[in-house]
């Protein structure tokens, strides 16, 4: 059996939210969304977490998150640095934005020697997502190129306060991912959701469509492909949008699927996502956690401190 590692992407700027939302309390005793994620991960069987953060946020993350979860799980930090790119490439003048979710995971390549799960720091996924990830990763062959996505139905992942970005998935009859397309502007709509590319024309996404919430299960074989795809992104995509182009994790997965270099099993968690994409989302998250606490799904004090 493997010892799967939980990887938490926490280097985002939180620009739409208007602050460092990863450390905004939502629980009855000041717990953060990430407290609930780590708590659920520990319950599912994970024994180590790697936080991918900005180096300048190290002290505040250790004080508010790392220090209080250390008694339950091993903690390690990795810094996502804009200059951690393949040899032969340079940072475009004026670029300050990180390179995206795939680059965040790339930043952790030197500390990951076991199959690993990837999640966002600012999303509430529910225990079912972590159980599905752990149960897949614990017995998987460490050299396997069969990965896993803990999927969510699009209608369970939306906010009332604007658009969200989601990886819209295509799944075959055997439950394997056949493609994933990153849609950066998805909104609620009757019968499911809708998306736009230009801000004017909208396209339907039917209810029940599986989307990626960046809840992936990988082996370290992922990095073999990243070493090939990342230079192509820097060469072909960055010149078109040098200040904002992003290397999304679904891009890498989609490339591996199309090139038949990997299979990705999709497991529908059935869970309801909660998150704070916008500041107006916070009361909804607080109310949901309060209700789940009252129902006994979570203790009032997660870490008994």
CATH number for the domain that contains residue 280? 3.90.550.10
**Count of domains forming the chain:** 1
Structural domain includes residue 95: yes
Rounded distance between C-alpha atoms, residue 125 and residue 40, angstroms: 9
Range of the domain at 198: 5-294
Structural domain includes residue 300: no
DSSP string, 95-106: --S---HHHHHH
Report pLDDT for 17.
Answer: 42
Rounded distance between C-alpha atoms, residue 33 and residue 41, angstroms: 13
Rounded distance between C-alpha atoms, residue 86 and residue 104, angstroms: 14
| C-alpha gyration radius of the chain | 18
Report pLDDT for 145.
Answer: 95
Report pLDDT for 20.
Answer: 55
Residue 228, CB-side half-sphere exposure with 13 Å CA sphere: 11
Structural domain includes residue 302: no
Report pLDDT for 225.
Answer: 93
How many C-beta atoms lie closer than 10 Å to residue 71's C-beta?
Answer: 9
Report pLDDT for 108.
Answer: 97
Structural domain includes residue 67: yes
Structural domain includes residue 169: yes
Structural domain includes residue 141: yes
Structural domain includes residue 305: no
Each as own residue / partner, the long-range contacts of residues 180-189 (CB below 8 Å, 24 or more positions apart, any chain) are: 180/212, 180/250, 180/253, 180/254, 180/257, 181/250, 181/254, 182/248, 182/250, 182/251, 186/154, 186/158, 187/158, 187/162, 187/163, 188/155, 188/158, 188/159, 188/160
Report pLDDT for 22.
Answer: 54
**232 close to 178: Cβ distance less than 8 angstroms:** no
Structural domain includes residue 62: yes
Question: Which are the contacts of 190, defined by CB distance < 8 A and separation ≥ 6?
Answer: none
pLDDT tens series, the chain, 305 aa: 899 999 999 986 454 444 555 567 899 988 999 999 999 999 999 999 999 999 988 988 898 889 989 989 999 999 999 999 999 999 999 998 889 999 999 999 999 999 999 999 889 999 999 999 999 999 999 999 999 999 999 999 999 899 998 989 999 999 999 988 889 899 999 988 999 998 889 999 999 999 989 899 999 999 999 999 999 999 999 999 999 999 989 889 989 999 999 999 999 998 999 988 888 888 999 999 999 999 999 999 998 75
Residue carrying structure tokens 């820097």: 234
As given in the structure block, the two tokens for residue 18 are 């208007």
């Amino acid at each position: 059996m493997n010892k799967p590692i939980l990887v938490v992407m926490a280097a985002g700027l939180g620009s739409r939210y208007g602050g460092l939302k990863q450390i905004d309390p939502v629980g009855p005793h000041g717990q953060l969304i990430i407290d609930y994620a780590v708590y659920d991960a520990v319950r599912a069987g994970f024994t180590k977490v790697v936080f991918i953060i900005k180096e300048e946020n190290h002290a505040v993350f250790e004080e508010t998150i790392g220090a209080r979860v250390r008694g339950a799980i091993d903690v390690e930090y990795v810094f996502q640095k804009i200059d951690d790119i393949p040899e032969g490439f340079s940072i475009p003048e004026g670029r300050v934005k990180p390179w995206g979710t795939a680059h965040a995971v790339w930043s952790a390549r030197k500390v990951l020697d076991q199959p690993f799960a990837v999640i966002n720091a600012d999303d509430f996924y529910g225990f079912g997502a972590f159980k599905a990830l752990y149960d897949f990763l614990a017995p998987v062959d460490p050299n396997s190129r069969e990965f896993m996505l803990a999927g969510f139905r699009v209608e369970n992942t939306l906010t009332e306060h604007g658009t969200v970005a989601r990886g819209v998935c295509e799944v075959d009859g055997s439950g394997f991912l056949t493609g994933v397309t990153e849609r950066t502007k998805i909104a609620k709509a009757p019968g499911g959701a809708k998306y736009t590319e230009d801000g004017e024309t909208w396209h339907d996404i039917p209810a029940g469509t599986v989307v990626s919430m960046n809840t992936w299960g990988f082996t370290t074989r992922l990095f073999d492909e990243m070493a090939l795809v990342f230079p192509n992104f820097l060469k072909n995509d960055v010149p078109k949008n040098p200040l904002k182009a992003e290397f999304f994790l679904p891009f890498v997965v989609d490339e591996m699927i199309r090139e038949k270099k990997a299979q990705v099993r999709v497991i529908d968690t059935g869970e309801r996502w909660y998150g704070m994409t916008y500041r107006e989302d916070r009361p909804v998250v607080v109310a949901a956690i309060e209700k789940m606490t009252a129902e006994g799904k979570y203790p009032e004090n997660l870490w008994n401190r």
